[in-house]
Structure 1
Amino acid sequence: MIQLKKHINLVLGAGLLLVILFGVYIYKNINSHTETVNSPDQMPMIKDETIESETEKNEKKADNSDPIMVDVQGSVKRPGVYEMNNGDRVIDVIRKAGGFLEEAEARSVNQAEKISDEMIIYVAAKGEEIHPLSSNMGNDKEDLLNINSADLSELQTLSGVGPSKAQSIISYREEFGPFNSIDQLLEVRGIGEKTIEDWKDKIKFR
């Protein structure tokens, strides 16, 4: 009887020890798993797909921009139409065309000017009349006829203007004062919309 009790106590003690060991094992595993999940050092790196996506879109947009086509003529080694990029300048196109010929007049073009689509660059030869690209707008303005100061003969240089119509313009100026806009010319007898459409790039008011 005593031996049976000892045997039972031994079995119970061994079982209790196993339960304690098993509990310790589970507790350690749970803590280890929690630290692994919460540790910022062990967190996997997540790729910011949104930022990268926007960057890729911008790069594609830049790559897909329309090319600029520029026509180079005159005293260059390889005249022709060249595909250029936004921000390029006249000198870049001339270099692409092989550079100036020996007889070229480099002053005939503004080499620092930025190019634009469908632009024509003409490099004159020495002795040719020079038309600098950067100043042609100012020169054209000086060549316009001042409708408020032109005399009878000067007014007749405009298309469709004879002595009678020229006198009508002068008479209007004398009665109502100088013209302020091209549409005001419609108030002059004999001048219609077709006429002022033809004059809009040929006259000025000051």
Structure 2
Amino acid sequence: MIQLKKHINLVLGAVFLLFIFLGLFIYKNINSQPDTVISPGQMPVIKNETETIDSKTEKNEEESVLSSQIMVDVQGSVHRPGVYEMNNGNRVIDVIRKAGGFLEEAEARSVNQAEKIVDEMIIYVAAKGEEVHPLSSDKGNDKDDLININSADLSELQTLSGVGPSKAQSIISYREEFGPFKTIDQLLEVRGIGEKTIEEWKDKIKFQ
């Protein structure tokens, strides 16, 4: 019986020592593994996509603004005649306001204040009782006497054969809705204008 107890104690002691050695072995292996350190040079570089997108957006907006700027010459009975930088989509009244507005002697009806402006357009505000002569935006050439179908006001359009106030207003309304005319055939889309009419106009109008 005593021998059995000694044998059991020896077995338990051996098992205890085995656990101790096993624990020391595991502890030693864990401590011996080097920590992984990432140096600044190895750090991944993350591009700031927000800054790139913002930069592109600002560039596109700047190009859009530049492309929409046009120059308009305001003459006649306004406080500050001159050439003004405007935006596409502005109307005659906007340019006149920028030029200081009408003078007291101005004949406001001499211009179509609701008309959309175009690049190199000349706006002449006549004085009361003054005879109005249409001005051309073209620089001296043999076409100076032609009517600019894209900038002519109500009174100028009525100098064309067969055009009264109603048809002139139809032309202006078309321009305001669809933009400048590009070809003479496009005038056929205006109510009241047929092939015979544009045949008569082909040597009397221009598009720039």
Q: So what's the TM-score if we normalise by structure 1?
A: 0.48
Q: So what's the TM-score if we normalise by structure 2?
A: 0.47
- Judging by fraction of residues, say which structure has more helix: 1
